[in-house]
């Protein structure tokens, strides 16, 4: 593998990741605003963003913290939001499993929906590329995303009180979550799982400590898996 | 919120570590050994299983309107979901969703709210 092609793989990944700036920047900004509004100080907001570095999970935790949910429920819910990443991790393993441990650790820390989706698409398309180029592409794709997430959160935490109410940023979080769900409704089982999740969330809405969200998710996950299994056996 | 600083850092620390371990799980620890199909099958649905449960109350009973269902926000949510589904593109879903929200708020003569 030549250094030049590794470099070009990096740039190729970077170009592919660029459009996600449009999602990451507002999402980070809103987390910064929401975090300071909820009563976190700047260091706590940044601690979230740097250590957890997973938008949807951060919003989940923050939302539940504003409702004073018990710690264990907050942690289970936020980690449940991230469980899909175990699947990402599993699907990257055949392609990147031979990389040095520090690279695999860094890949794991920086595993977001967007650059994961880009990278796995690229690996499926060109599995013959050497490992070094695969890694370079991955870090290229994450380059416009991760630093911007941290920076925009920081700006949001500072701008928090300056953004006028007219921007209705209260609803940016539900919109951003919906924007993740829409494209994820790829198959019938996905749609059924999502629908189950909504119905169960309403049924369990009165449960204390937001526990209903966890139960709704578990049932929806099982329903999705079961629908998929039945569709397979029918075929 | 009524958590102490130590409590907040406990949540951040556990979430940070837990999230890393989830991301590191197969790539770092288990490697490319095969996973049981039933587990993969369930993991495939984690996102569509938890996100709608989280969103539903936020959409139906928004804090900004004191928990009252709000036509502007309901409309914006429908647009974001529909555009995301049809275009398979999260960026367009966000742009059109927020655009619909501003348009509907303006048409209905409402102002937004700073409450997040």
Amino acid A120: pLDDT: 87
List pLDDT tens digits, range A127-140. Answer: 999 999 999 999 99
- What ipTM goes with this model? 0.86
pLDDT in tens, A40-91: 999 999 999 999 999 889 999 998 999 899 999 999 999 988 888 888 898 8
Interchain CB contact of A145 with B (< 8 Å): no
**Pairwise CA distance, residues A194 & A101, whole Å:** 36
Model confidence, pTM:
0.82
pLDDT digits (tens, 9 = 90+) for A134-172: 999 999 999 999 999 999 999 999 987 677 777 787 888
Residue A15: pLDDT band (50, 70, 90) is: very high
Which residues have C-beta within 8 Å of that of residue A158, sequence separation ≥ 6? A32, A42
E strand or H helix at A58, and its extent? helix A55-66
- Put simply, the answer to whether A221 touches B19 (Cβ < 8 Å) is no
Q: Which of A79, A196, A202 sits opposite B15 (nearest CB)?
A: A79
Q: How far apart are CA A134 and CA A43, in angstroms?
A: 35
Residue A92 contacts B where some CB pair is shorter than 8 Å: yes
- Residues B38-55 have a mean pLDDT of 88
* For residue B72, pLDDT beyond 90: yes
pLDDT of A201-210, one tens digit each?
999 999 887 8
Does A230 touch chain B if contact means CB atoms closer than 8 Å? Answer: no
- CB-nearest to B114 from A51, A165, A224 is A165
Where do the domains of chain B lie? 61-110
User: Measured between alpha carbons, how far is A45 from A47 in angstroms, rounded to an integer?
Assistant: 5
When the pLDDT of each residue in chain B is averaged and rounded to a whole number, the result is: 89
Please tell me the predicted confidence (pLDDT) of residue B116.
39
**pLDDT at residue A54, as a whole number:** 93
Residue A93 contacts B, CB cutoff 8 Å: yes
Q: Is the dihedral of CA B88, B93, B96, B101 positive or negative?
A: positive
3-state secondary structure of B18: helix
A residues 95-124 near B, CB within 8 Å? 96-97, 101, 104-105, 107-109, 111
- Chain A residues with CB under 8 Å of B50 CB are 77, 80-81, 83, 197, 213, 216-217, 220
Q: Flag if A37 and B116 touch (Cβ within 8 Å).
A: yes
Contacts of B14 in chain A (CB under 8 A): 75
Mean model confidence pLDDT for chain A = 91
């Amino acid at each position: 593998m030549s250094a030049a092609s590794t470099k070009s793989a990096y740039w190729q990944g970077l170009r592919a990741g660029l459009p996600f700036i449009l999602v990451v920047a507002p999402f980070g900004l809103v987390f910064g605003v929401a975090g300071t509004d909820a009563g976190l100080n700047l260091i706590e907001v940044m601690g979230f963003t740097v250590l957890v570095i997973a938008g949807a999970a951060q919003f989940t935790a923050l939302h539940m913290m504003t409702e004073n949910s018990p710690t264990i429920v907050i942690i289970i819910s936020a980690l449940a939001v991230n469980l899909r990443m175990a699947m990402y991790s599993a699907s990257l393993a055949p392609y990147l499993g031979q990389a040095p441990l520090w690279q695999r650790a860094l890949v794991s820390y920086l595993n977001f929906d967007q650059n994961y989706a880009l990278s796995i698409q690229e690996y499926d398309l060109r599995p013959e590329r050497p490992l070094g180029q695969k890694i370079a592409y991955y870090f290229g794709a994450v380059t416009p995303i991760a630093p911007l997430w941290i920076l925009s959160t920081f700006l949001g935490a500072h701008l928090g009180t300056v953004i006028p109410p007219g921007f209705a940023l209260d609803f940016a979080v539900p919109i951003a979550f919906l924007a993740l769900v829409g494209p994820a409704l790829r198959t019938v089982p996905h749609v059924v799982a999502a629908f189950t999740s909504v119905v169960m969330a309403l049924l369990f809405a009165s449960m204390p400590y937001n526990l209903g969200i966890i139960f709704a998710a578990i049932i929806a996950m099982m329903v999705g898996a079961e629908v998929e299994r039945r569709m397979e056996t029918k075929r | 919120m009524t958590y102490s600083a130590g409590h907040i850092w406990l949540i951040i620390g556990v979430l940070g570590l837990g999230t890393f371990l989830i991301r590191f799980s197969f790539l770092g620890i288990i490697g490319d050994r095969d996973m049981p199909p039933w587990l993969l099958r369930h993991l495939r649905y984690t996102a569509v299983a938890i996100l709608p449960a989280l969103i539903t109350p936020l959409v139906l009973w928004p804090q900004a309107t004191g928990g009252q269902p709000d036509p502007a926000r309901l409309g914006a949510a429908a647009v974001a979901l529909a555009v995301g589904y049809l275009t398979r593109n999260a960026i367009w879903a966000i742009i059109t969703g927020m655009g619909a929200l501003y348009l509907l708020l303006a048409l209905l003569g409402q102002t937004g709210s700073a409450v997040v």
